[in-house]
Amino acid sequence: MNAMNTAISKIGVVPVIKLNNPERDAANLGKALCAGGVPVAEITFRAAGADIAIKLMKEACPDMIVGAGTVTTTEQIDKVLAVGGQFIVTPGFDPELVAYAQEKNIPIFPGCTTATDYHQALKFGLEVLKFFPAEQSGGLAKIKALSAPFPMFKVMPTGGVSLKNLKDYISAPVIAACGGSYMVTADLIDNQKWDEITELCKKSREIVKEARGE
C-alpha cells in the first residue's frame, strides 16, 4: 500500500465526524483524538464548513491525518485541497470524482459495496475501498465474499461499526481500518466531552492492537 494507506491502516480506526461548530470544536477535537492515539479524522460535508474544520484541525494538530468525507462534487475536492486536506472519501463510486482526485494527486476512498463497484475500482488502480454502509450492506460476511474475486483490495468498512464489533472487523486480514462515529457522536462533540472522546479512542486502539497481536 502507499504511504497514506499504510499510515491509516496502522492506526486502524478512522473517526467519521460531523462538526456543527468547527470554529469552536475542531482544534479541541483534534487534540482529543490525538491524545487517544487516533491521529486521523474524516470530516464530512454533511455539515457546512467541513473545509474550515479541516484547516483548523490541521493547524492545531499538524501531524494529524485529516481528510474529508461525504464528498460528492469536484468543487468540494478543490476546497479540501485548498486547506491542506489529505484524503477524500465518497459515499459511492463516482468515476468522475475518482479521476479528478487522482489528477489532483489526493488519495480517494470511494464507497463500494458490490462486485460492479469493485470492478470499477480495479480500473482506477485503487488499493483501499470504503465499504458503506457496512452493516446494512452485508457486513464482514459480504466483505469476505467480495475479497475472493478481488483479493487486491483492502477495505475500510463504515456504518454500524462500534466497540462491540470492531474486533470482529479489524481481525480480518482484508480490513485496512474501520470508520466510525461512535467516538465522535453529536452528544460528545456538542457537549465538548473531550475526555470521553479520548477514552473511546484509547479503547478502540486497544482493540486494534489486541486483534492484530501488537
Give residue-wise pLDDT tens across range 131-176.
999 999 999 999 999 999 999 999 999 999 999 999 999 999 999 9
- Domains in the chain with CATH codes: 3-202 (3.20.20.70)
Residue pLDDT, tens place only, 79-103: 999 999 999 999 999 999 999 999 9
Q: DSSP for 27-59?
A: HHHHHHHHHTT--EEEEETTSTTHHHHHHHHHH
To the query of whether residue 42 is one of the catalytic residues in this protein, the response is yes
pTM of the model: 0.97
What is the rounded average pLDDT of the residues 2-24? 97
- Set 55, 79, 130, 154: catalytic member: 130
Q: Express as a percent the part of the chain with pLDDT over 70.
A: 100
- What residues form DSSP beta bridges with 69? 44
* Cα–Cα distance for residue pair 179/131, rounded to 1 Å: 9
pLDDT beyond 90 at 40: yes
Write down the pLDDT at residue 198.
98
Write down the pLDDT at residue 27.
98
- Set 18, 42, 79, 154: catalytic member: 42
- Per-residue confidence at 1, pLDDT binned at 50, 70, 90? confident
For residue 42, CA distances in Å to 16, 142, 152 come to 5, 24, 24
Q: Residues 60, 29: contact at Cβ < 8 Å?
A: no
